[in-house]
Chain A
Amino acid sequence: MFAPAVAVAGLVKRYGEVEALRGIDLTVQPGERFALLGPNGAGKTTLFSILATLRTPTAGTARVLGRDVVTERDAVRRAMGIVFQEPAIEQRLSGRDNLLLMGLLYGLPSAAARKRADEILGSLGLAEAAGRPAKNLSGGQRRKLELARALVTDPQILFLDEATLGLDVDARRGFWTHVRTLAAAGRTVFFTTHYMEEAEVADRIALIDAGRIVALDTPRALKARLGGGVIRLQTDDDALARTWLAERGWAAEAGGTELMLVHADPAAVLPELLRHLPVKVRRAEVHEPSLDDVFLKLTGRGFASEGAAAPAGGGRGGPNGRGRP
């Protein structure tokens, strides 16, 4: 009955030589909070630009609320709101003027546009700051103004491309409070973020790496895929430690300055491990799997000794599996 909020099939985007998207398939249901996570350059902004009708796909199709982003561009533009990664407000104009202009651009008569601007400013707690030039607002207020701009036409779907980048914790929390309210009212929110705790609130998450989706599931199922808890180690000689671990059937991922191991009962095996490891361990940590760990397992660079845990491509494997020794 209802069209999916977003339906993407075989989407490819090339910028000359660069293949930013290499065949994305994705469906976001109406009312869903859907997160796209991936390293810089993975293609997140490119995907959003295509969904927002700013760029055209090289191949494949994309639909927003049932409308094709190429052939029904105007309908898509009317239906969605987007907060871009970079600022998209006129810094010299006041918040109220920015929103008034947006209303006019969407075809509202002046009086209605003015009324709508004040409504949104009020609902986002920006009423007092509305008269000031946008450049004089705080970082948090400015991002809220971006959100306000995206909301002028009361869209049923919102795209947020790293909308809280660079904000402090308080400002981020304030921003997400509003997004949650919007989502609770039944809107679809499709977002990217670099903050793992923001991604946790998503109903589903797609992990994207180098233009491909490497996993797509609920946060819980993604974490369950690791099949256990996580041990992170900082050692004097990671290479040696990994070789030693590999000989004993442990696949350790090298995540920057740390090694990551997965085990069904990490707390139980850690003491043993520390006793026998032939290298000095400077720090050891045991925790429940975080999205960060899943991310590292699936997209992290330099997993030289992948062994049985080879991830990538699999898409939606069962929630467990990928077991450890």
Chain B
Amino acid sequence: MMLRGIYAIVVLDMKRFWLDRARLVAGLAQPLLYLFVLGAGIGSSMGGSMGGGAYKPFIFPGVLGLSQLFTATFAAITIVFDRQIGFFKAVLVSPVPRPAIALGKIAAGALQAYLQGLVVLPFAWLAGVPFSFVSTVALLGAMALASVTFSALGVAVAARFTSTTVFPIVSNAVLLPMFFLSGALYPLKSPTTPHWMQVAAHLDPVAYAVDLMRGALLGPNYLFFSPWLSLPVLAGMITLLTWLAVRVFNRGEDDSSLGATNFNWRR
């Protein structure tokens, strides 16, 4: 029942996602803006190894991560909407175990984030990213890990909210700092990067995911974390966030609200 339940939730969310497939194209705007406007502007003012044409390939994995992060978060917001529409009551009276709902939501969000990443990926060529077969395969793997991490993060947070107006505000207040601290747009490794930002990056799941994608695409020289650190850290974060999400969905004396009762952003 668990696997079937997860599958049913994924089918539900992917059917709804398909109705909104225009979002895949609209979702390109933000990453391309960062890549070609911010990238060109900052790149031209930068010197050294980051300067000129080298900046865009450098930030490409960051921009890829950005688009995945926002797609996954948007997918997670549907939990908050689901609480408000009656349809979810029908899900809740079915024998699907509550953890399957959380896991299905995470899987569906990850799938959507991955698809969005695939749509952004061809622009790597325009950004002047050097491609090889091996780097592409490695990147596809790293993207998968990033998608699952971001989706688990989104669901773990969204599961705590019942208000559709509050969640976007909070998620922006959390997501943007995570993105900016992740080293997506600047090298964490550089000796001029403030020490506290390097420390902060160690606590930021986005940093590990972006770093891994960058290493996969551009080579190990570009890594800030060793893959032997980022792989287990990401796996650990996925496990922790998933556990947090499942816990919320499981909670509640009353089962009618998917765990959340009233306005419980403090939980």
Question: Which A residues are closer than 8 A to B by beta carbons?
Answer: 49, 52-56, 74, 77-78, 80, 82, 84, 86-93, 97, 100-102, 104-107, 149
Contact = CB atoms under 8 A, between A and B. Distances in A.
B253 to A, nearest CB: 6
Interface string B1-33: 100110110011001100100000000000000
Nearest to B87: A90
Interface stretch (B35-43, B90-98, B139-147): B90-98
Interface residues on B, range: 20 to 34
Nearest to B82: A90
Interface of B is mostly: helix
Contacts of A54: 89, 92-93, 254-256
Contacts of A78: 95
B229 interface: no
A101 B4 CA distance: 11
A78 to B, nearest CB: 5
A55 B11 CA distance: 27
Contacts of B253: 56
A77 B93 contact: yes
B86 A101 contact: no
A106 B89 contact: no
A107 B95 contact: yes
A43 B87 CA distance: 22
Contacts of B12: 90, 101
Given A93-B15, A107-B4, A107-B5, 13 more contacts: A55-B254, A84-B90, A87-B86, A88-B90, A89-B86, A89-B90, A90-B87, A91-B85, A92-B16, A93-B19, A105-B91, A107-B1, A107-B95
24 contacts: A54-B89, A54-B255, A55-B254, A56-B253, A80-B93, A84-B90, A87-B86, A87-B87, A88-B87, A91-B85, A91-B87, A92-B19, A93-B15, A93-B19, A100-B11, A101-B12, A104-B8, A104-B11, A105-B5, A105-B8, A105-B90, A105-B96, A106-B94, A107-B1
A97 B15 contact: yes
Nearest to A13: B254
A158 to B, nearest CB: 12
Nearest to B94: A105
A106 B94 CA distance: 6
A97 B19 CA distance: 12
Interface of B: 1, 4-5, 7-8, 11-12, 15-16, 19, 85-87, 89-96, 253-256
Contacts, number: 74
Contact of A149 (B15, B90, B256): B90
B22 to A, nearest CB: 14
Contacts of B96: 105
B57 to A, nearest CB: 40
A25 B198 CA distance: 65
A237 B244 CA distance: 65
Contacts of B7: 104
A61 to B, nearest CB: 16
A49 B256 contact: yes
A142 to B, nearest CB: 11
Nearest to A58: B253
A136 to B, nearest CB: 13
A170 to B, nearest CB: 24
Contacts of B89: 54, 84, 86, 88
A154 B87 CA distance: 19
Q: Which 10 A-B pairs have the closest CB atoms?
A: A104-B8, A105-B94, A88-B86, A54-B256, A88-B90, A77-B95, A90-B87, A86-B86, A105-B8, A74-B95
With a 10 A CB-CB cut-off, give which of A49, A78, A87, A88 has the most chain B CB atoms: A88
A90 B8 contact: no
A56 B255 contact: yes
